[in-house]
Structure 1
Amino acid sequence: MTQDDPPDGWSPQERRMWEAYRLGEWCDDVAEVRGSALRYLLIAAPSPYPGCQTRLQLRGTRVTGELDLAEVTVAGSIRLSRCRFEEPVRLDNAHLGAAFEVNACTMPGLTLAGARIALECEIVACTVTGTVDLRSLAVENRLSLNDTDIRPSHGEAALDAQSIEVGEDFWASGLDCSGTVFLNSARIQDVLAFRGSRIRGDSGLQAPELTVGGGLFLDSGFSGTGQINLYGASIGGSVRLDDCRLDGPGAGPGAYALNLSCAEIGGDIWAGRGLVVQGPAIVRDTSVRGSVVLKGAHFDISSRVPTAEAALDASRLRVGGDIDCRDGFVTHGMIDLRDARVGGSLLFEGAELTALDNRYPALRGNGVETGGVFNLCDGFTAYGRISLNSVTVRSRVCFDDAALDTSADESALSFVGSTTASLSFRLREAPAGVVELRHSRIGLLRDAPAAWPTGLVLDGAVYDSLHPALPARTRLPWLGRDPAGFVPQPYEQLAATYQRQGQDADARAVLVAKHRSMRRTLSPPARLWSLLQDATVGYGYRPLRAVWLLLCLLSTGAALFTGWPPTAVGDGKPPPFQPGIYTLDLLLPLVDLGQERSYAPTGLAQWAAVALIGMGWLLATTVAAGASRVLRRS
């Protein structure tokens, strides 16, 4: 027997396999071979026939016994199609100089841990009733597990591909795994695709520190039961989640459906249609160079309450483009966008957000910064409060045609300490809850009287202009809705706005209304003094009242003293009596016109003189107080 002859004792079928190997042809007419014969063929490696390339191409064969190719070096390709293996196939640390292709085969397990494959590795449309172990596998070209069904024993991993390195794409479309898939620290040069795949198990897909040079595709009917863990992943392209359903492992601390925290995404996170997530989704501290598109997506943690805080936790998310949550976006549970940085816009038109616990808002966006618009409008509905404290929006915040559904004792919107060029607050209907704009800075504030909330907190809010430009009598009820009662700053801010627009009469009306509202907070003596200032000089903002009152008192006194003139007093010759000048001398304190000290009234005229003197002092004091207030304000 020469080296190119099969060993003695081989069956005729195994001899035909030997000859097909030397010819590099498919071997189709072999019903059964031994695993040990396959191993011997690949290790002995007979020389090819002239003009041929040796390769193992076996189709429709039953392989008995164990096929153990651990640490074997094989120069040619291995292609197995529709073969059935009795024992797990082992290629641990094998070195394959060409391709390894297994198509439509059935086997109880497959191990390629530490193997090196020079060309592509394809495990396609196979049924594996154990674990597929690809740990530290290195494939220079493409790796494919398309349409493979992996059914390990309970508690075992379905696919263990930790630390694999793939020089091109990794395709696992249509993969069906009834156990955990591990891709920890895997490195894929181009695309990683799980399109239409199903992964079932408490641990789901574990791929922390995954590196993908191209895009990651979990779309086209992908479903995951258990955790999808992409913590710290680096994706050079986009993450696609269209028509994807993720079901978390259930309630409990640390249980989530999707974890994409601390990741780097070079393209978009795209879920333009059909994304359903049952369980918490976490995208904390992640950087996305493009946009996050979640149109029509559904996030639900209703079965996880009270252990889960947020349905979508995107705190400290950094996005170069937009966050697009339009067109039927729905959440049952809080959306957390705290301290997110968005280069484009935040879009929630037509979205519906529901808070499941009064401890958490429907949307928490405290500290958000965005370079575009922040739209919660055009059919936007929130069942629960919206918290947007300390946000910075360089364009517009819009609530037009939105509904904020909370109870009367809750906050509907908290927009405290925030800054925006424009706030449009023309709601679909007036909210029952409180709207807080405290200490916010707004360029243009748009609202609608029909949708003013029952409770409105404006203390410290600063705005440059209001639209529509309502007169003071219409705008004043807007200021009296603070649940805490009277606060002076909102009146002063509104008056300043009217003054900038040249509407001085409206500005004075607002300032008078401020003092009238403040009157209710004063002690009885101070309240009486406030009434006198209001009646006499309008708190200094209506000085003509003092003039008219002075004229009335002057006319009354002149008429009275004409009918009942006082008698002259003193030894010298008094000046001629003038009723008008005498009355004016009584009314003006600290002014001596020579009439009051020269004549003394008697009887009823005496009491009238006392009254005029008192009215004069009162009028002078209120005028001085009002003038001082106006001068301080100026």
Structure 2
Amino acid sequence: MSDLDTTTAERALRTAVEAYGLVWHDARGAAIPGAALRDVLLRATEKPRKLVVHGAKVTGEFCLEAGAVAFPVKFEDCEFDEAPNLEQTRFPGLYLVRCRLPGLHGTQLGAETNLVLRDCEVAGTVELTGAAIKGQLWLTGSRLRALGGAALKADGIVVGQDLLFDRGFRAEGRVRMVGARLGGQLICTEAAFRDPGGVALELDGAIVTEDTFWSSGFLAEGVVSVCCAKLEGKLDCSGGTFRNPGRVALSAEGLRVQGDVLFAGGAVEGGANLTGCAVGGRLDLTGGRFSDPGRTALDLARAHVAQNLVCRSGFVAQGLVLLAGAEIGGGLWCEGGHFDNGTDTALDATGVIVHRDVRLGRIPESDSGFHAQGGVVLSGATVAGDFDCTGGDFANPDRVSLVAKGMSVKRDVTMRTGFVAGGSVDLTGTKVDGSLDCGGGVFGNSGRAFCGDHVEVGQSAVFDRARAAGQIRLCGARIANRLTFARTTISGDEKALLLNGAVVGGQLRLVFPTKPAGGIHLCQVRAAYLDDRESRWPDRVKLYEFVYGALPNDGVDVKSRLQWLGRHHKYAPQVYTQLARTYELSGMHDSAKRVLMAAEDARRASRQGVSRRLVIAFDWLLKYTVGYGYRPLWVLYWFFGLLVLGWRLFSHIGESGFHHAKTGESATHQPFLYTLDLLLPVVSLRQRDLWVVEGAALWWSTAFTVLGWVLAICLVTGLGKAFKREL
């Protein structure tokens, strides 16, 4: 372009400005030296209401540093050879629309109204560090390219109203706004921030007075960092994408959001670190996708959420979701959410405090249920409402599916029909003020399927119709009301059910549809009432110091219960005395005696040593003569039986076997009295003194005498045992 053309363009511009009013100058592609443009803006004698420069090519240095422009300036479709130097420059308003620049130096730039870079192409850094803009800052539709460097530097910038990165905004390089202060909204819809492997958007320590939108087409390739920032409105990430695979994509440690945080349809490819953040409203991640396989996909450790934390249908996390030490003022609702971390921990909420319900199940009237591929940890958690896993799928085969050791729940814990755990469930030391309901749940671990050792339940614990592929443990548990296993299927091979040391304040019901393959251990269990109707006991049962206050009076006979005691392989007196005592308290004295006699049988069978056979023989006599002292009148049956037998026997022998002891006596032989005299070892009826017996009569007399002594000894021994028990 010739010097004449340049001079003509300058003159036209000066003439337009001096005309005052609203000035719209179309340079039509003509070049305007930067120095001349500076003179027009800083030294014009007339001050137009606004200057619009269209289609100009600004050549050379354009420097307004530390200057003050008295009127708003707008550049449309202009091109700058060099980056304008606007450092410490004051404008009523500055607008660059569809301009092309190699950069922009605007450190501590001041604008009384707006600063606009709309649909601009910037092939370098836009420097706005410390700028003060009382109106809005627009970068709508602009494209900033500074590969390997910063596309925008705006640390400490102050914007009185909104900051807009929207409608196709693109940044190739870091956008840095550390400590920025925004009096309005931060809008980043339909915007892309790209600095792969670096920091795409940095807002550490920033303050946004109103809402922040990283939604509806927002894309960040690289880290988005908002550490210790304060957002006084809501944070909306719905439809936004944060991409930094294998690294942290969203870094928000210490972030403070006074409103809601929304993530419907949002996606994070890489880690999302919100450690120690605070959300004044709800944190709704429903529909969000967080992907960092094998690493921490979402870190909310020590976070504080004033209302609900929601991860419902559509929420997907590939990698660990960490909630350790977090506090949630509302509920933790994860119905329909998917947590996938392979065989490692998928959800770690150790020590979390939830002021309402925790829901890890199915949304009512929906097929969408909670799913975890990997472990779920809530050890030490505090839940002020219900802990509901009904309909949840905890798939971590042969490992721990759900562990909540030491958890405290103020209301109910439910794992009812639809709950499936592929691995073990561990509630050791959990305290439940309401009920523990596992009715219909499926516990699929073939080893330890369910562990509730030392659990405390304020109401009932129910396992009715539950299915366990392995062992169920409730050792040392404290159940205030009922503990029921009605129609419960337990497939453990060795120890199917362990209740050792448990205390049940109400009914203990054990009804199995099929005989468990493994043993049942009830050692040191205390139960107010044992309901054993319809029970199918396994071959191995341990009942040491099992104490129960009552039994049903119908449905189970004494014989069946004695068979049950017999499954306790080693002799233990207490298991028999407990059953007998229960019968006694129910007024069933005959049944109690049968149990005590069975105890003596078991004791006799357990004897060891050299004298075992002799003692067993004597016990055998005691059993069938006086029922070990519990049936002393049985001896009368033997006595009268022998009396009748002897009477008939000696009557049959007749006087041929009897001779008078003294010659000349004429006493008549009386077989009845003679037999009676033989059977009474202490009392003498003088019948034996009258006769001398010989032959068969002698042998039979000796036998009846011995039997009389045996009956007497058995009677005395039995009565002695009876008196000893009474004492």
TM exceeds 0.5? Answer: yes
Q: 1:329 corresponds to which residue?
A: 393
Q: Deviations over 1:465-501 (max 9, x none)?
A: 446742222333333334x544443333333333333
Q: CA deviation at 1:234?
A: 1.9
Contact 1:390 1:415 in 2 (8 A): no
Q: CA deviation at 1:284?
A: 1.9
Q: 1:288 corresponds to which residue?
A: 354
Q: Deviations over 1:580-631 (max 9, x none)?
A: 6776666566x54565996787422542244124313431244135414642
1:430 pairs with 2:515: yes
2:123 to 57, 60, 64: 64
Q: 1:199 corresponds to which residue?
A: 268
Structure 2: how far apart are the matches of 1:449 and 1:143? 64
What pairs with 1:229-628 in structure 2 (closer than 5 Å)? Answer: 229-243=299-313, 244-248=315-319, 257-278=320-341, 279-280=344-345, 281-295=347-361, 296-301=369-374, 311-332=375-396, 333-334=399-400, 335-350=402-417, 351-355=419-423, 362-378=424-440, 380-384=442-446, 385=448, 386-406=450-470, 409-420=493-504, 421-427=506-512, 429-446=514-531, 449=534, 451-466=536-551, 469-482=555-568, 485-523=570-608, 524-525=612-613, 526-557=615-646, 587=679, 591-592=682-683, 595=686, 602=693, 603-624=698-719, 626-628=721-723
Label 1:576 to 1:544 Cα distance change in 2 as closer, same or farther (>3 A). same
Contact 2:360 2:392 in 1 (8 A): no
Structure 1, 520-529 or 441-450: larger mean CA deviation? 441-450
Matched positions, count: 587
Q: Deviations over 1:17-61 (max 9, x none)?
A: 499998979x69524345416x37x8142x5xxxxxx22344322
Structure 2: how far apart are the matches of 1:505 and 1:197? 75
Label 1:529 to 1:349 Cα distance change in 2 as closer, same or farther (>3 A). farther
Label 1:528 to 1:399 Cα distance change in 2 as closer, same or farther (>3 A). farther
SS at match of 1:536: helix
Q: CA deviation at 1:270?
A: 0.7
What stretches of structure 2 of length at least 5 have no aligned partner? Answer: 1-39, 59-72, 79-89, 362-368, 471-490
SS at match of 2:165: strand
Higher relative contact order (CA 8 A, sep 6+): 1
Contact 2:239 2:267 in 1 (8 A): yes
Label 1:419 to 1:110 Cα distance change in 2 as closer, same or farther (>3 A). farther
What stretches of structure 1 of length at least 5 have no aligned partner? Answer: 48-53, 153-157, 249-256, 302-310, 356-361
Q: CA deviation at 1:151?
A: 1.2
1:86 pairs with 2:145: yes
- TM-score normalised by structure 2 residue count: 0.72
Structure 1: how far apart are the matches of 2:499 and 2:588? 28
Structure 2: how far apart are the matches of 1:277 and 1:588? 87
Q: Deviations over 1:261-287 (max 9, x none)?
A: 222222211112243332312222222
> Residue type matched to 1:151 in 2?
E
Q: 1:43 corresponds to which residue?
A: 109
Label 1:476 to 1:11 Cα distance change in 2 as closer, same or farther (>3 A). farther
Structure 2: how far apart are the matches of 1:348 and 1:86? 55
> Residue type matched to 2:303 in 1?
A
Structure 2: how far apart are the matches of 1:601 and 1:235? 109
Label 1:71 to 1:466 Cα distance change in 2 as closer, same or farther (>3 A). farther
Structure 1: how far apart are the matches of 2:360 and 2:183? 40
Structure 2: how far apart are the matches of 1:24 and 1:427? 83
> Residue type matched to 1:415 in 2?
L
Structure 2: how far apart are the matches of 1:543 and 1:189? 86
Contact 1:123 1:145 in 2 (8 A): yes
What pairs with 1:155-194 in structure 2 (closer than 5 Å)? Answer: 158-179=223-244, 180=248, 181-194=250-263
Structure 1: how far apart are the matches of 2:456 and 2:135? 63
Label 1:408 to 1:75 Cα distance change in 2 as closer, same or farther (>3 A). closer
Q: Deviations over 1:152-207 (max 9, x none)?
A: 2xxxxx22222222223222222322221222222222322233322223xx2222
Structure 2: how far apart are the matches of 1:485 and 1:417? 19
Q: 1:307 corresponds to which residue?
A: none
Q: CA deviation at 1:347?
A: 1.2
Q: CA deviation at 1:451?
A: 4.5
Q: Deviations over 1:528-572 (max 9, x none)?
A: 3433332223333333423322332344455566757988999xx
Label 1:146 to 1:177 Cα distance change in 2 as closer, same or farther (>3 A). same
Label 1:246 to 1:184 Cα distance change in 2 as closer, same or farther (>3 A). same
Structure 1: how far apart are the matches of 2:265 and 2:125? 33
Among all aligned residue pairs of Structure 1 and Structure 2, give the percentage whose two residues are the same amino acid: 24
Structure 1: how far apart are the matches of 2:339 and 2:182? 38
> Residue type matched to 1:222 in 2?
R
Contact 1:345 1:374 in 2 (8 A): yes
Structure 1, 397-406 or 612-621: larger mean CA deviation? 612-621
Q: 1:359 corresponds to which residue?
A: none
Q: CA deviation at 1:66?
A: 0.8
Contact 2:77 2:100 in 1 (8 A): no
Structure 2: how far apart are the matches of 1:567 and 1:319? 98
2:211 to 116, 128, 142: 142
Q: CA deviation at 1:85?
A: 0.8
Label 1:76 to 1:502 Cα distance change in 2 as closer, same or farther (>3 A). same
Q: Aligned Cα RMSD in Å?
A: 3.7
Q: CA deviation at 1:339?
A: 2.2
Structure with the bigger percentage of strand: 2
Structure 2: how far apart are the matches of 1:17 and 1:500? 102
Label 1:609 to 1:486 Cα distance change in 2 as closer, same or farther (>3 A). closer
- TM-score normalised by structure 1 residue count: 0.81
Q: Deviations over 1:421-446 (max 9, x none)?
A: 34444445433223333323334444
Structure 2: how far apart are the matches of 1:429 and 1:605? 57
Label 1:18 to 1:234 Cα distance change in 2 as closer, same or farther (>3 A). same
Structure 1: how far apart are the matches of 2:179 and 2:705? 112
Q: Deviations over 1:326-375 (max 9, x none)?
A: 125333232222222222222111222223xxxxxx12222222222222
SS at match of 2:139: strand
SS at match of 1:460: coil
Contact 2:521 2:542 in 1 (8 A): yes
Contact 2:382 2:408 in 1 (8 A): yes
Q: Deviations over 1:272-326 (max 9, x none)?
A: 224333231222222222111111322223xxxxxxxxx1222222222221111
> Residue type matched to 1:616 in 2?
L
